A = this chain, B = another copy of it.
Amino acid sequence: MTIDIMKTVEFSRRDHILKEAAGIIRTQGYAGASMRDIANAVGIEVSSLYNHIKSKHDILASICFSIGEEYIQGLDAILSNTLDCRQKIEAIISLHISLAAAHKDSMQVFEEEWKHLRDDDLSRFRSMRAYYERQLLGFFAENIQAGHLRESSPEIALYTFLSSLKWLNFYFKDNKKKNADIIRHHLVQILCDGLIKETKRTIVS
């Protein structure tokens, strides 16, 4: 009982540190964010940080891996469901929207500061990202093969698709001006059907 309470206190303080650190690392970059800045934001002395985190690298790794795991769990759940091609694309877009809206600071740290990870952390991070891209590349390649997606290089389609969603990570950090449902609807249309306005008839196989 006492242990449980202590753990709760311990975890929430650590989470508090990670949350403040994410905001500071996002705005100042990993190398430009000092442990003094982070301690000041949390409201304790620098040396006290080390009761909750092992090192500055530990902070970065925790932020990057928690976001990475959410992406992978979300994608695995979508791809193993029985949805058609367009529904899966819509679900993946929804995943990116909801993660961007939920993790305003740490999402950008995940995107831009992972390169400061070292040794085992760096290679583990690269493995996770490679897994995510490999799963999605398989999805694109299968559906091009099956005739559901336009003939194209699966790699170019993958890179363009993933890249096209990155503005979401910046969009929500000010204040969400538009509803997430509206954004999803427009994104699905633009990415699935294209920017150019034309009449369309689906091929009946």
* A150 touching B29, Cβ below 8 Å: no
Assess whether A165 is interfacial by the CB under 8 Å rule: yes
Give the residue among A149, A182, A187, A196 with the most B Cβ atoms within 10 A: A196
Assess whether A164 is interfacial by the CB under 8 Å rule: yes
* B148 touching A196, Cβ below 8 Å: yes
Assess whether A28 is interfacial by the CB under 8 Å rule: yes
Tell me which residues from 58 to 93 in chain A have a Cβ below 8 Å from any Cβ of chain B. 85-86, 89
| Residues in B whose Cβ lies below 8 Å from that of A27 | 115
* A190 touching B152, Cβ below 8 Å: yes
| Residues in B whose Cβ lies below 8 Å from that of A85 | 196
Smallest CB–CB gap between A152 and chain B, Å? 5
Assess whether A50 is interfacial by the CB under 8 Å rule: no
Assess whether A183 is interfacial by the CB under 8 Å rule: yes
